[in-house]
Structure 1
Amino acid sequence: MDTEQMRADFAYCETIIKKHSKSFYYAFSQLPPEKANAVYAIYAFCRTADDCADSDRPHSEKLESLQQLKQELDLFRDRAEVDHPLWRALRLVFTNYEMDIQAFYDQLTGQWMDLNFSIPRTMEELERYSYYVAGSVGLMLLPVLASKASADLRLSAIELGIAMQITNILRDVGEDFQKKQRIYLPEEEMARFRYTQSDLRHGLITESFVNLWESLAKHADSLYDDFYRSINLFDADSRMPLFLSVGVYRGILDAVRGSDYDCFSKRNYVSKEKMTMISAAVGNRSQIV
């Protein structure tokens, strides 16, 4: 692949992450260029998969799109990939890093689960779903961010992905229900805290809702804390972006708390000013690691 084509392919992937995930881009654009490009390509694949399952098209068309992507991944596995910027970029990533293609198939399984959605009954079911749609992303990124690691960091990567997915769910409680008619809060947890689907339908922010929300948020926080304990085993040039990504995602939880848990009528996010503060704090902390 010539250099100009390579740059164009990774620029295509970078455009996708800049458009769809400002927080993820903000964190991982701090990586050295080769690693940042690898992250952009991996994200572009995940975004393509998510777009197959999460659109306004008829269910049959979404199934067809996801099946088409699976066929393209099969071709990539067999080194006969489609001539497209995404697959050309990913081929270079697979050449430069010890990638495991199973994580990419697991991501597609997560999208199949979304297309055939059912409310998780338990926290275990929520975590299983979260592994496929987000823990798999952690495994995709692991060879890039821990290319020199001697320890097995797969569990840490999975737990970080699960924590981020739970954070997304807690941010998007209202949007998921109102626009997609989906409830990701486990039925057992809703029953335990006496918060009903009717309460959710009416967007009620009660003491029961706050306690339910905080129960899941504290679980995500514990997973973030577990990840911090292994962060010094990742490549030195990857630690600050990882600290930053965790800081930004934890900032999302704080943003919801700061809006009195209103995740029904507003979109909670980390402001640019807050990101700058997180970045400064991360810079101080990462120098200690």
Structure 2
Amino acid sequence: MGASLAAAYERCRALHRQHGRTYYLATRLLPSWKRRHVHALYGFTRYADEIVDRMGGATPAERAAELAAWSAEFLRGLRGGHTDDPLLPAVLHTIRVFDIDLEDFRKFLDSMAMDLTVTSYETYDDLLGYMEGSAAVIGTMMLPILESSDRAAAREPARQLGLAFQLTNFIRDVAEDLERGRVYLPQRDLEAFGVTRADLERALASGSSTPKIKSLIRYFVSRARAHYALAAPGIAMLAPGSQGCIRAAYRLYGMILDEVEAQGYDVFAGRATVPKWRRLAVALSCILARPAQAPAGHIPAQRDTGAALADLRGTAA
């Protein structure tokens, strides 16, 4: 591996370690040869997110131009062109090694562009349309690396796990997203619980949720758990060497929901985090677990698909 390619993989690993502590810990359970490829995918998605969210005082138009330029650089690389980008060689190499579906990357970049102009969603279906590119495709990008004896069957659980992780982040980060001018929880669900955007802004200012906001968050926790339940069967479909990683990620992200519950669903009181000792204990238990063992613990993985779908289709009322 050339020096520039090795440096790109290291850049992705550093981004993963800095910004994705939960997922980074889970990847430590993968065979060493797979880890750099997972870091590459994380680095790609994280850097795009950095452009959208953290370009200092850049205007939306400036961020859109930067995202478009970086996307064009990525496309040139896919066509075999040279790139001086410090990160892209790693993801381009990973795509070639595993023949990852390029449509997933197009959907992802489209969703990142949406974040520059869309600040709210009317319905849960609308939000799912966004999350298809921002989250579900990340699950399917990962499948060739994780390996599965039946990739077609594993595809939908992988999508659902991406959705579960994303919705967990939205629940935990309501305050942080609001500071960026975004509300991911759909408008119709806010209305069903008698919550307005102004209510959320007042809760942000005071650092405390109202009972109505807590009820709204409780409802979305149940929706996230329904996605986890739909994802659970996919873990046993993965190669034995990959199961520990995804089992750990599944449990660790689910524990974020536990922390939200423990603080009374008050997501404005503080960011829900899982203590380091608990994260390490989960990682150890996943190392010791036998392959194909269903994930245990905090997520209702034993629930049947019909019940989970009923939760997702249910109304807030």
TM-based fold match above 0.5: yes
Shift of 1:149: 3.5
Residue 32 (str. 1) matches residue 31 (str. 2):
yes
Q: 2:222 aligns with which of 190, 201, 218?
A: 218
Q: How does 1:7-156 map to 2 (within 5 A)?
A: 7-55=6-54, 56=56, 57-146=58-147, 148-156=149-157
Q: Give the direction of change, closer, same or farther, for the CA distance of 1:288–1:118 in structure 2 (3 Å limit).
A: closer
Amino acid at match of 1:185: L
Mapped to 2, the partners of 1:287 and 1:97 lie a distance apart of: 23
Mapped to 1, the partners of 2:177 and 2:135 lie a distance apart of: 17
Shift of 1:150: 4.7
The share of aligned pairs that are identical, in percent, is 28
Q: Please identify, of 262-271 and 240-249, the stretch whose mean Cα deviation from structure 2 is larger.
A: 262-271
User: After superposition, what is the alpha-carbon deviation per residue over 1:128-152, rounded to whole angstroms, capped at 9, x for unaligned?
Assistant: 1112111121122121112543543
Residue pair 2:51, 2:63 contacting (<8 A) in 1 also: yes
Query: Superposition RMSD on alpha carbons, in Å?
Result: 1.8
Q: Give the direction of change, closer, same or farther, for the CA distance of 1:152–1:77 in structure 2 (3 Å limit).
A: farther
Mapped to 2, the partners of 1:94 and 1:51 lie a distance apart of: 21
Q: Give the direction of change, closer, same or farther, for the CA distance of 1:79–1:148 in structure 2 (3 Å limit).
A: farther
Shift of 1:51: 1.1
User: After superposition, what is the alpha-carbon deviation per residue over 1:9-54, rounded to whole angstroms, capped at 9, x for unaligned?
Assistant: 3212111111111111011122112211000011111111111111
Q: Secondary structure of the residue that 1:160 maps to in structure 2? A: helix
> Which TM-score applies when normalising by structure 1?
0.92
Q: Please identify, of 196-205 and 122-131, the stretch whose mean Cα deviation from structure 2 is larger.
A: 196-205
Q: Which runs of 5+ in 2 are unaligned?
A: 294-317
Amino acid at match of 2:22: S
Q: 2:243 aligns with which of 230, 239, 253?
A: 239
Q: Please identify, of 74-83 and 183-192, the stretch whose mean Cα deviation from structure 2 is larger.
A: 74-83
Indicate the residue corresponding to 1:160 in structure 2: 161
Mapped to 1, the partners of 2:236 and 2:227 lie a distance apart of: 16
Mapped to 2, the partners of 1:277 and 1:73 lie a distance apart of: 39
Mapped to 1, the partners of 2:84 and 2:183 lie a distance apart of: 38
Indicate the residue corresponding to 1:180 in structure 2: 180
Shift of 1:121: 0.7
Q: Which runs of 5+ in 1 are unaligned?
A: none
Mapped to 2, the partners of 1:254 and 1:114 lie a distance apart of: 28
Amino acid at match of 2:78: R
User: After superposition, what is the alpha-carbon deviation per residue over 1:150-209, rounded to whole angstroms, capped at 9, x for unaligned?
Assistant: 5432222211111111110100111211x2121111111111111222221111523322
Q: Give the direction of change, closer, same or farther, for the CA distance of 1:232–1:147 in structure 2 (3 Å limit).
A: closer
Mapped to 2, the partners of 1:207 and 1:285 lie a distance apart of: 40
Residue 191 (str. 1) matches residue 191 (str. 2):
yes
Q: Give the direction of change, closer, same or farther, for the CA distance of 1:167–1:14 in structure 2 (3 Å limit).
A: same
Shift of 1:284: 5.1
Q: Secondary structure of the residue that 2:87 maps to in structure 1? A: helix
Mapped to 2, the partners of 1:262 and 1:145 lie a distance apart of: 36
Mapped to 1, the partners of 2:10 and 2:278 lie a distance apart of: 27
User: After superposition, what is the alpha-carbon deviation per residue over 1:226-247, rounded to whole angstroms, capped at 9, x for unaligned?
Assistant: 1111211111111110011111
Aligned length in residues = 287
Mapped to 2, the partners of 1:194 and 1:15 lie a distance apart of: 43
Residue pair 1:17, 1:43 contacting (<8 A) in 2 also: yes
Residue pair 2:259, 2:272 contacting (<8 A) in 1 also: yes
Q: Secondary structure of the residue that 1:278 maps to in structure 2? A: helix
